[in-house]
Structure 1
Amino acid sequence: MKAAVVAVTRQGAQLAEKAAEVLGAGGKEVTLYVPGKFTLLKVPERRIPYRKPLKELMGEIFPQYDAIICIMALGIVVRLIGPHLKDKRTDPAVLVLDEGGQHVISVLSGHWGGANTMTEELAAGLQAAPVITTATDVHHLPAIEMLAKERRWQVEPFAHVRRINAALVNGDRIYIFTDRPLNAGLPENVTEKKLADYNKYEFLDGEVVFVTNRLVDGAPEQALYLRPGSLVVGIGCRRGTPGEAIKGAMTRVLSEAGLKTDDVRLMASVDIKEDEPGLLEAATDWQLPVRFYTVDELAAAMEENNKMTTSEFVEQQIGVGGVCEPAAILGAGKKAKLIIPKQVMNGVTVAVAGDTSASSASAPETRTR
């Protein structure tokens, strides 16, 4: 994890050194940003003197780091980060320390970004008081997205997390239907059941969470899915390709790489295939969701990764030089890597991607069927 520590005064710069030691001992790669007039020692990649306005500095470092620790007033930090907030799945963790080193405050991305955990870590190292205000933590309850993050599971759709956590805090009933044991300490208002016991005709007086890589017939529209599988299969095919041919190609590619179809959580392709019968048939047979991306989205992914295979024929046909590889990467998320590059079998192209980070957020939501 890359962390930046930003100070604005001489006392803050001294505290920044101590904070960096604590974070560094925890395995984090730390860079200090200290006003130029307060630094005499210049160590590359460790201490960077700055003379630009804080507003400009924050704009530069916000997308570069996994965590930003600010030693200054909380109000200043709120104003600085406001214009840069985008998504809790991608925003960095932001913490605030007062210059006296008395309090460490978790400000942003407490759960998914790890700010709450880092707050506890830094407070212990500095002998300060941790300030954490997320409701689930205050009530010592397990946030639903942390259940997924600790296991490297995907969360879909992420927008439903807030409602599930609200139910946790309010003591409302939550049913978790799972195809594998959770082995988690769940509060009394959460009931764990086997996925096989789910009955779409049964009335459930509470929120519903499914732990499975498969689609669930008759699932409530507001249900939350936790996806244990880490693999996304990108598919390209000609018009009229049978579903059996697509399933056969996927099965063979995965099998030859020693991977299991049970670990696939998503199929992905280009949006002009949204009505492709064979592709939809394969997804339905395997109970997998399919996510479709536009030509522009695929092209942008290929531009970011120049090692992807390019086909002049495909580019002439649809306007982008590849489908399966960029679709797999987009479906797997920001930190994904290609596990299996493009394979061609009986007119079907297959690529497999997976998230290799320590934790993974769900991919940006696009059209899914």
Structure 2
Amino acid sequence: MIKIVYITKRGKKIAEEIKDVLDYYHYDNKVEPIKDFKIERNEGGFIFIMATGIVLRKFLDEIKNDKFKDPFVIICNENKELIPILSNHLGGGNYFSKLIANNINGRVIFTTATDVNGKVGIDELSKMLFLETPKRKHILDINKKILEEDVSLTLPKYWKLRNLNGYKISYHDKYEVVVDDSIRLKPLKIAVGLGARKGIERYKVYWAVKKALFLRNIPVWRVDAFATIEDKKHERGILETVNKFKKPLIIFKREEINEIYEKIDLEKSEFVYKHLGVYGVSEPASILAVKKLTNKDFDSIKLILKKFKRNGVTVAIATENL
């Protein structure tokens, strides 16, 4: 949940604009006037439309705890200038600042050295490419070094990243990312769950997947697998789309799908249950696929895009949660 907090009438109007952006990108969010605002400690981020001093004196000490786990904090003034001040890289403060500014005709004011100099720090790199989190020492060392020179970055050969500020990119046959010839970061597994009405056309599945990946800024080459239920294993629109993306399709039985709803609190659809005997397909399929790819417990898997519906297709995206 992202909380958007305001004080003035002008601030409320901007808060509603920001909410529209977050709604479009399917991020859970809530707008609150400052008089009703409470920190519940389960938030993913905060956007304060008010003076910096108010946030620093009144709220920041209660929010900040650990650089690796803190929710992001963004301050926005009434000129729509957004300043990410906490958890800018790992927490997504920079990402959300840019996302919002680009959609409300605002601008971002960066304060961290790598961002001011147009470089991508290793912590932001890990967030952007869905990699395991670097060690604290590596973040400090690489982000300092990258300000003075380009650092080597070795990627899996089929990843289609060609240019990145601060790095000299090369490729290898291994499924790992190597920074500065010595720091090895494991890519997190990403799975896309698919559901669709019977006889769905390929183009509808294809564009629903493309839109879902766009909403989470994930290139197709970064996806590890697609997944669906056994009832859809011969669905031509799904099969042709997955084949076009050249990714594996993992099929799960109804029993496996239903077990997920006993272990994880997911939205249930009585309509889907009536027709397929399960309460949903895309969300549990994506979670099960990551579990199959990693052999991790469900606590280590995160649903990063809840069920997204488009033209008779449902799409969900899950990944490892380290």
Of the three residues 206, 218, 224, the one matched with 2:183 is: 224
Q: 1:188 to 1:147 in 2, by over 3 A?
A: closer
Distance 1:137 1:229 in 2: 24
Distance 1:223 1:108 in 2: 28
Q: 1:361 to 1:67 in 2, by over 3 A?
A: farther
How far the C-alpha of 1:351 sits from its partner, in A, is: 6.0
How far the C-alpha of 1:108 sits from its partner, in A, is: 1.5
Aligned to 1:133: 111
How far the C-alpha of 1:141 sits from its partner, in A, is: 2.0
What is the TM-score of this pair, normalised by structure 2? 0.53
How far the C-alpha of 1:177 sits from its partner, in A, is: 5.3
Matches within 5 A, 1:1-369: 2-35=1-34, 50=36, 57-58=38-39, 60=40, 63-79=41-57, 80-98=59-77, 100-171=78-149, 174-176=151-153, 180=157, 183-184=160-161, 185-187=163-165, 190=168, 192=170, 194=172, 211=177, 223-228=182-187, 230=189, 352-353=296-297, 354-358=300-304, 363=322
The percent identity for this pair of structures is 23
Distance 1:360 1:351 in 2: 12
What is the TM-score of this pair, normalised by structure 1? 0.47
Secondary structure, aligned partner of 1:169? coil
Q: Which runs of 5+ in 2 are unaligned?
A: 191-223, 225-261, 265-286, 305-317
Distance 2:164 2:10 in 1: 44
How far the C-alpha of 1:68 sits from its partner, in A, is: 0.8
Q: 1:361 to 1:143 in 2, by over 3 A?
A: farther
Q: 1:168 to 1:188 in 2, by over 3 A?
A: closer
Secondary structure, aligned partner of 1:113? coil
Q: Which runs of 5+ in 1 are unaligned?
A: 37-49, 197-209, 213-219, 232-262, 264-305, 309-336, 342-349, 364-369
How far the C-alpha of 1:96 sits from its partner, in A, is: 0.9
Kept after mapping to 2: 8 A contact 1:96/1:104: yes
Q: 1:86 to 1:338 in 2, by over 3 A?
A: farther
Secondary structure, aligned partner of 1:154? coil
How far the C-alpha of 1:164 sits from its partner, in A, is: 0.7
Q: Which is greater in Rg?
A: 1
Q: 1:125 to 1:191 in 2, by over 3 A?
A: closer
How far the C-alpha of 1:227 sits from its partner, in A, is: 0.8
Distance 1:112 1:122 in 2: 18
Q: 1:175 to 1:76 in 2, by over 3 A?
A: same
CA deviation map 1:132-180 (0-9, x unaligned):
2232222222322333323322134244212112111122x63445665
